[in-house]
Chain A
């Protein structure tokens, strides 16, 4: 067996939840990190420490606590910036990736003509057929509000984007191209460079949904060449309620705020107001300070492991899981069946057994998976399936976890006499 630079058995001890027992005293086999990741002690402790020692409203007070809270919150921003290769002032804290994407769509819709974000009848917005609802519906709605047309890059039977269609779909009418880095259903890692090139050729803005990529492999915004990146904290070992919106500074400077209120202003009179520079312009109200601090701790944890090591281990798990699952008769992988250009998210169907029923049997083995349409209903319809069972892996998963999963799938088949 290959050796890994990660000491998985040791790092598992950093995650308190992994030592709890499940139904029938079974140990937890957590294969649902694509939905949300588990949290190491350092993240939980960082949040508690903030509340116990540093809590104050940031950007306001003239007291020591406020200074320390500022330092903790802005320190977290610096960690995020370094993690994705961004400038500090380009990192905006939101409550979730969903909010980040909605904020962009909302802000674009409020942009006056002449700005790079303004959309009108005759313009088009391009997404892909494999988008999570969070990167589809905001653009559907923006298209509806502005009269722009929504177009999408189709997926192939194997679960890749059909790049041959790029040149016809992204054309001179295209103003925005919003796409996922890695599909939360198929595991497919998309060719960002190729899409960015097509978008740049027509001066369209590019928005990358990094929810399934940033936590799992090294992502550098400058190398990718996109204009905006969004991701959520809770899928990257961080707490819930904190998300990231990154944007190129020249674009953020021109972009309309999407929330108005305290601490996002430069000056205010009874009849008008002007805005503080980014990122403050986009962070109205007292922010989720403890959440930001927790996310900072999470990204530090990942950095200590090394994102290349994280990725290498996940690929080893993926390779092993693909081989084992493909070998079960009656089980079909939905998405690329090889480990090339894909991540550690594996969707599959079991002939004759609905995903919910598969999930129920797996639960009996202490295995947590996601079942259903994974907030990607159009993709399910494309493949003519009601849903899939999805196993998604992270740093704390082992090859034993894969074996347990395979055993449980076979049990489900025996139980429902599907074969």
Chain B
């Protein structure tokens, strides 16, 4: 069936709903990720994969006196998983692990909200741009990949320091 609209106009209409998912902030983090490239400093290294799609994140974390002292990561995956990981590293760097967990809980709640929450910008900063992801159930696991890697790494880092 031939559309009577010129192609570029019809394409612009298609993107309106997409824009709620792919906010400019997300595409920016995707193209210019923060803390990407694994650094030497690490108390723990974790490798998380999303088995259904193959997205991968490797994360190095150092915790010093309960504070996130160094965080770096590398990975492959879709714009959502990679941008979300980048945003997360910016959020938790320099914060106490306890505060980082509060942010993580807040973000998890936002992701589970099925589009009903906007997210608290005071807590989540750039991560509120991911609010639209919660309307797309298949993509929530993409957004959570890096965050779950952080949680895992923090537990290992703290365990390690307690044993030392």
Contacts and interface: CB of A to CB of B under 8 A. Distances in A.
Contacts of A371: 53
Contacts of B17: 23-24, 364
A386 B21 contact: no
Nearest to A365: B14
Contacts, number: 59
B139 interface: yes
Contacts of B15: 364, 411, 415
A356 B11 contact: no
B14 A364 contact: yes
Interface of B: 1, 7, 11, 14-15, 17-18, 21-22, 27, 52-56, 76-80, 136, 139, 142
Contact of B139 (A356, A361, A365): A356
Nearest to A380: B54
B77 A361 contact: no
Interface string A337-380: 00000000000000000111100110011000001110001001
Interface in A306-357: 354-357
A416 interface: yes
B78 A373 contact: no
A40 interface: no
A356 to B, nearest CB: 4
A416 B79 CA distance: 10
A137 to B, nearest CB: 13
Given A354-B78, A386-B76, A407-B7, A415 B54 contact: no
Given A371-B53, A407-B7, A411-B14, 9 more contacts: A24-B17, A355-B53, A360-B139, A361-B14, A361-B18, A364-B15, A372-B52, A386-B54, A415-B22
Nearest to A381: B54
Contacts of A407: 7, 11
A185 B77 CA distance: 19
A387 interface: yes
Interface in A378-419: 380, 386-387, 400, 407, 411, 414-416
A357 B55 CA distance: 12
Given A354-B79, A400-B1, A414-B11, A360 B18 contact: yes
A360 B14 contact: no
Contact of A360 (B7, B27, B77, B136): B136
B78 A357 contact: yes
Contact of A356 (B1, B7, B14, B78): B78
B18 A356 contact: no
A356 B21 CA distance: 13
